[in-house]
Amino acid sequence: MGSLPAADKPLPALRYPPARRDDDIVDDYHGVTVPDPYRWMEELESEEVKGFVDAQAAVAEAVLSTCDDHRVRLRGQLTALFDHPRYRAPFKRAGSYFYLHNPGLQPHSALYVQHGLGGGEEPDVLLDPNTFSDDATVSLAMFGVSHDGEHLAYGTSASGSDWVTIRVMRVRDRRHLHDEICWVKFSAIAWTRDGKGFFYSRFPAPKNDGAPLGAGIKTSVNLNHEVYYHFLGTDQSEDLLCWEDPDHPKYIYTPEVSEDGKYVILSVAETSEPVNKLYYCDLSALPDGLEGMKGNHGNAMLPFVKLVDEFEAYYALIANDDTQFTFLTNKNAPKYKLSRIDVNEPHSWMDILPEDEKAVLESACAVHGDKLLVNYLSDVKYVLQMRSLVTGELLHDIPIDIGSVNGISGRRDNSEVFIEFASFLTPGIIYRCDVSKETPEMNIYREISVGGFDRTDFEAKQVFYPSKDGTKIPMFIVSKKSIVLDGSHPTLLYGYGGFGMNMTPHFSVTRIVLMRNLGFVSCIANIRGGGEYGEDWHKAGSLANKQNCFDDFIAAGEFLVSAGYTNSSRLCVEGASNGGLLVAACINQRPDLFGCALAHVGVMDMLRFHKFTIGRAWTCDFGCSEKEEEFHWLIKYSPLHNVRRPWEKGHRRQQYPSTMLLTADHDDRVVPSHTLKFLATMQHVLCTSVKESPQTNPIVARIDRKSGHGCGRSTQKIIDEAADRYAFAAKTMGISWID
């Protein structure tokens, strides 16, 4: 039996807690004065901020308590569907296979090891993150297995923070070494081929402000990244400093060891823009190896050679044959290509696989000697091919369904490749492929099955709709089969549109429950700012062109209404991080178009984002308020600075949609003050400063405890948050449960 319609359980009388406004804080930006009355909310550890957070949590819970019927049912259905085995593609080291697996409702996937796949030993748990903490808030953030398969180095993160602590264990007997490496952030674990240690990146320890260094959230700007080499079995204080550059404190370094073990390659970035410098060091040429460098008490850094020393393009290592290196690059190729250079001849660049006219070259993996498994994105659909590493010529196509290739696991010294695939209606398939054969077969190694899900009940399609300037934008629409386009269906519109990130087909238990039990149509708009059509598509939605993202997303909503999928009172928009900014900017610009808005961990203060943690790296996409021209771009759409009363524009009863802002107390990427300041501003402008305000739709925040920007959350936290936000959407849009 279905539940009562949401309208039968009225929302509580909303009393938003007062938030102190400091009208004395006014900044001057190039002659323009901008007040910032909630600046105090940037002091996240203060008692005043904690009190505000607690008061807002009480408001949110009062609203959510009226949604309990939906909440309980959602939680039950989500739990039932999440309770299925999940696997990631295995990778091989010295005869052993390593992979992540969750049998169902465990908080985190565990790392398994299996010695041989055919009739050998049973798989065994190597490392179980579910033992890291009693409340499942410590997660496995990164790991790397040595080339000989003897040692595992792994990084843990507490409460979803970007800060990582690395530890080491011996694979054969699960014994932990005493090694512990702290203050690691934005790093890789790059083992040297001899298995004696690994490269990693870290920041200097934050200054002690009186609080324990491991407590709370650190919001100070991250500067002076460094690269170290850690020798197994030694203290971190003995690690070898391999690279630093105090003259460029904003640089971020990612070390990588070539598959032949001869070189360490250093990628140098300054922002999130797809450009990097490229340095390399011939480890085999060090007279006494890395151990000899360690004995150098002058702490001389590794003798890196600067192969590319300008931020002109992006380069990612694909393979090397001695001094011949092959890179994936966007140098004069916005849709990417493969180029090769002999590092002994710095001007010897030549294209191996030229840029395609239409498809974006997403990735390339060198396997089985001189073969390349390349992955293209064509109209947001994946195309797999086998090519020659030597010449780039096409050997054969590898047919796959419409969906996403989420990972390729293979090496040049092996003919075995694993390919991870999923789509809107395919929970996941891991293919095993022997590429030594003339025509490799894609054999199903593992197929993920979700009990209670029948894909034949649903359909997925792609449409192209015009944006404000006429640009055709692709969008995926997933729904129950054969729905009638009568404008009645609740619809979820999701978007991102930034940093060249692609929104490709993926499976979501949550989306299935929404479609099956609440009648939702689920849509993903591939708006500009993403990388779905390469760097030109990305740049068309960044910097001075950022408004295109919002226009594209608004046009998606208008299309869904005009095509008969939904109406504005039943259209819910959702996005996270840059997508949270997207949602917030769009409800400012078109509050009439949406019935509900869910904005996760959004960048809401476009004038000050660069002042916290790694926010400075986003100026490549947004610009920076310290530059006059860029300030004028930002102030026009910054969510915090553009909350307006719609009813003052002549629409007497017009209001903002029901809005839930989501953040987490340990988000040290997009710090919670973004959401807190935006929340206080919305409540003040639309509600508390107005007598008999037309704004009756709720404006609330869900502030998760002991969580971060989204990574490392337990299964239960994922279920609880999804139940809360979609119960809120269903309640406020008047949607009834369907059994």
Give the pLDDT of residue 4. 41
∠ CA 718-610-18, rounded to 5°: 65
Non-local (6+) Cβ contacts of 139 within 8 A are: 108, 129, 132, 156, 157, 160, 711, 712, 713, 714
pLDDT 10s digits, 655-701: 999 999 999 999 899 999 999 999 999 999 999 999 999 999 999 99
Report CA-CA distances (Å) from 325 to 21, 280, 343: 58, 11, 7
pLDDT 10s digits, 530-555: 999 999 999 999 999 999 999 999 99
**Dist. CA 294–CA 290, nearest whole Å:** 6
Q: In this structure, what token pair is assigned to residue 335?
A: 């849709």
Residue the block writes with tokens 């299309």: 559
Structurally, the chain folds into a number of domains equal to 2
Report CA-CA distances (Å) from 533 to 230, 477, 581: 40, 19, 22
**Inter-residue contact 81 to 252 (CB < 8 Å):** no
Report CA-CA distances (Å) from 516 to 74, 81, 479, 528: 11, 12, 9, 30
Q: Judge whether 577 counts as a catalytic residue.
A: yes
424/506 same-domain check: no
Q: In this structure, what token pair is assigned to residue 537?
A: 């598509």
Q: In this structure, what token pair is assigned to residue 145?
A: 């297995």
- Examine residue 687 and state whether it is found in any structural domain, yes or no: yes
Amino acid at 58: A
pTM of the predicted model as reported, rounded to 2 decimal places: 0.95
Give the pLDDT of residue 213. 46
Q: Judge whether 667 counts as a catalytic residue.
A: yes
410/511 same-domain check: no
712/603 same-domain check: yes
435/507 same-domain check: no
For the residues 33-56, what does the mean pLDDT come to? 97
691/613 same-domain check: yes
> How many Cβ atoms from other residues are within 10 Å of residue 270's Cβ?
17
> How many Cβ atoms from other residues are within 10 Å of residue 275's Cβ?
20
What b/e sequence results for 115-154 when a residue is b if at least 16 CB atoms lie within 10 Å of its CB, and e otherwise?
Answer: eeeeeeeebeebbebbebbeebbbbbbbbbbbbebebbbb
**Dist. CA 435–CA 443, nearest whole Å:** 11
**Inter-residue contact 408 to 365 (CB < 8 Å):** yes
∠ CA 336-532-162, rounded to 5°: 90
Using DSSP's 3-state secondary structure scheme, residue 355 falls into coil
**Dist. CA 534–CA 553, nearest whole Å:** 19
- Examine residue 45 and state whether it is found in any structural domain, yes or no: no
Amino acid at 142: M
Show the domain range for 679.
471-733
**Dist. CA 375–CA 419, nearest whole Å:** 11
pLDDT 10s digits, 234-291: 999 999 999 999 999 999 999 999 999 999 999 999 999 999 999 999 999 998 889 8
CATH code of the domain containing 440? 2.130.10.120
Give the pLDDT of residue 295. 67
- Examine residue 321 and state whether it is found in any structural domain, yes or no: yes
> How many Cβ atoms from other residues are within 10 Å of residue 733's Cβ?
21
Q: Which of 340, 337, 188, 331 is nearest to 264 (CA)?
A: 188
605/523 same-domain check: yes
For the residues 628-636, what does the mean pLDDT come to? 98
Exposure of 358 by Cβ count < 10 A (0-12 exposed, 13-18 middle, 19+ buried)? exposed
pLDDT confidence of 464, banded at 50, 70, 90?
very high
pLDDT confidence of 119, banded at 50, 70, 90?
low
- Examine residue 97 and state whether it is found in any structural domain, yes or no: no
- Examine residue 257 and state whether it is found in any structural domain, yes or no: no
Q: Which of 179, 551, 665, 667 is catalytic?
A: 667
**Inter-residue contact 697 to 683 (CB < 8 Å):** no
pLDDT confidence of 8, banded at 50, 70, 90?
low
pLDDT 10s digits, 324-354: 999 999 999 999 999 999 999 989 999 999 9
Give the pLDDT of residue 40. 98
Give the pLDDT of residue 121. 75
Residue 96: is its pLDDT beyond 50? Answer: yes
**Dist. CA 572–CA 545, nearest whole Å:** 25
What order of strands is seen across the sheet that includes strand 443-447? Answer: 404-409, 416-423, 426-434, 443-447
Give the pLDDT of residue 210. 42
431/505 same-domain check: no
- Examine residue 297 and state whether it is found in any structural domain, yes or no: no
Q: Which of 105, 207, 206 is nearest to 162 (CA)?
A: 206
**Dist. CA 503–CA 92, nearest whole Å:** 29
Q: State percent of the chain over pLDDT 70.
A: 96
> How many Cβ atoms from other residues are within 10 Å of residue 286's Cβ?
14
pLDDT confidence of 5, banded at 50, 70, 90?
very low
Report CA-CA distances (Å) from 551 to 434, 497, 556, 671, 717: 46, 11, 9, 26, 33
Q: Which of 300, 263, 265 is nearest to 285 (CA)?
A: 263
Q: In this structure, what token pair is assigned to residue 735?
A: 């949607």
**Residue 470 or residue 293, greater confidence:** 470
Q: Which of 161, 577, 625, 638 is catalytic?
A: 577
pLDDT confidence of 150, banded at 50, 70, 90?
very high
**Dist. CA 348–CA 389, nearest whole Å:** 17
- Examine residue 126 and state whether it is found in any structural domain, yes or no: no
pLDDT confidence of 1, banded at 50, 70, 90?
very low
> How many Cβ atoms from other residues are within 10 Å of residue 690's Cβ?
14
- Examine residue 671 and state whether it is found in any structural domain, yes or no: yes
CATH code of the domain containing 482? 3.40.50.1820
**Dist. CA 717–CA 139, nearest whole Å:** 13
692/614 same-domain check: yes
440/507 same-domain check: no
Which stretches of 481-618 are assigned E, i.e. beta strand?
491-494, 521-525, 571-576, 596-600
551/622 same-domain check: yes
Residue 107: is its pLDDT beyond 60? Answer: yes
434/478 same-domain check: no
**What is the helix (H) or strand (E) element at residue 199, kind and residue range?**
strand 197-202
**Inter-residue contact 581 to 603 (CB < 8 Å):** yes
634/714 same-domain check: yes
Q: In this structure, what token pair is assigned to residue 653?
A: 């009863």
Q: Which of 429, 405, 432 is nearest to 416 (CA)?
A: 432
Amino acid at 533: Y
**Inter-residue contact 323 to 342 (CB < 8 Å):** yes
Q: Is 194 left (phi over 0), alpha (psi -120 to 50) or beta?
A: alpha
